A and B are shown apart, each in its own frame.
Chain A
Amino acid sequence: MGWFKRNKEGILTPTTEKKETPEGLWYHCPDCKNVVTSEDHIANLSVCIQCGHHDRIGSEEYFSILFDEHFYEEINANLTSADPLNFVDTKKYFERIEAAMEKTKLNDAIRTAYGKTGGHNIVIACMDFQFIGGSMGAVVGEKISRAIDYCINKNAPLLIISKSGGARMMEAAHSLMQMAKTAAKLTLLSKARLPFISLLTDPTTGGVTASFSMLGDLNIAEPKALIGFAGPRVVKETIGKDLPEGFQTAEFLLEHGFIDLIVKRTELKEKLSLILSFFRN
Chain B
Amino acid sequence: MPTYLEFETPIKELHDQLEKAKEISAESNVDVSKTVKELEKKIKEKTAEIYENLSPWQRVLASRHLERPYTLAYANALTDGTFLELHGDRNVKDDKAIVGGFGMMDGETIMFIGHQKGINTKMRQYRNFGMANPEGYRKALRLMKLAEKFNKPIVTFIDTPGAFPGLEAEERGQAEAIAKNLYEMFQLKVPVICVIVGEGASGGALGIGIGDKVLMLENTWYSVISPESCSSILWRSWDFKETAASALKLTPENMLEQKLIDGIIKEPLGGAHTNPEEMFKIMKVELKKHITKLKELDPQKRIDKRIKKFCSMGVFHET
Contacts and interface: CB of A to CB of B under 8 A. Distances in A.
A215 to B, nearest CB: 5
A173 to B, nearest CB: 5
Nearest to B162: A230
A180 B182 contact: yes
Given A89-B235, A173-B250, A188-B307, A78 B255 contact: no
Interface in A158-193: 167, 169-181, 183-188
B258 interface: yes
Interface string B164-181: 111101111111101110
Contact of A89 (B174, B207, B247): B247
B175 A228 contact: yes
Contacts of A258: 173, 176
Nearest to B310: A180
Contacts of B202: 167, 176, 207
A90 B234 contact: yes
B200 to A, nearest CB: 9
A72 interface: no
Interface in B226-267: 230, 233-235, 240, 244, 247-250, 255, 258, 260
B301 to A, nearest CB: 15
A175 B260 CA distance: 11
B101 interface: no
B47 interface: no
A55 B170 CA distance: 24
Given A169-B224, A176-B202, A235-B167, A187 B178 contact: no
Given A187-B307, A235-B166, A239-B167, A174 B179 contact: no
Contact of A173 (B175, B240, B260): B260
Given A180-B210, A215-B183, A228-B175, A172 B250 contact: yes
A81 B307 contact: no
A214 B313 contact: no
Contact of B183 (A137, A142, A183, A234): A183
Given A169-B234, A248-B170, A209 B175 contact: yes
A250 interface: no
B170 A215 contact: no
B179 A169 contact: no
Contacts of B222: 173
Nearest to B231: A89
A79 B206 contact: no
B223 interface: yes
Contact of B171 (A175, A184, A210, A256): A256
Nearest to A230: B165
Interface magnitude class on chain B: 35 or more
A229 B224 contact: no
B151 to A, nearest CB: 20
B179 A176 contact: no
Interface string A97-138: 000000000000000000000000000000000000000011
Contacts of A155: none
A82 interface: yes
B46 to A, nearest CB: 31
Contacts of A206: 203
Contact of A210 (B174, B225, B234, B260): B174
Contact of A85 (B171, B173, B249): B249
A187 B300 CA distance: 13
B316 interface: yes
B169 to A, nearest CB: 7
Contacts of A81: 316-317
21 contacts: A80-B316, A85-B249, A89-B234, A89-B247, A90-B234, A141-B313, A167-B202, A172-B223, A180-B310, A181-B314, A184-B307, A186-B183, A207-B202, A207-B203, A209-B179, A210-B175, A228-B170, A229-B170, A229-B175, A235-B165, A239-B166
Given A169-B233, A214-B175, 10 more contacts: A81-B317, A85-B247, A85-B249, A89-B247, A138-B315, A183-B179, A228-B175, A239-B167, A247-B170, A248-B170
Interface of B: 163-167, 169-176, 178-180, 182-183, 186-187, 202-203, 206-207, 209-210, 222-225, 230, 233-235, 240, 244, 247-250, 255, 258, 260, 306-307, 310-311, 313-319
Interface of A: 78-82, 84-85, 87-90, 137-139, 141-142, 145, 167, 169-181, 183-188, 206-207, 209-215, 228-230, 234-235, 238-239, 243-244, 247-248, 256-258
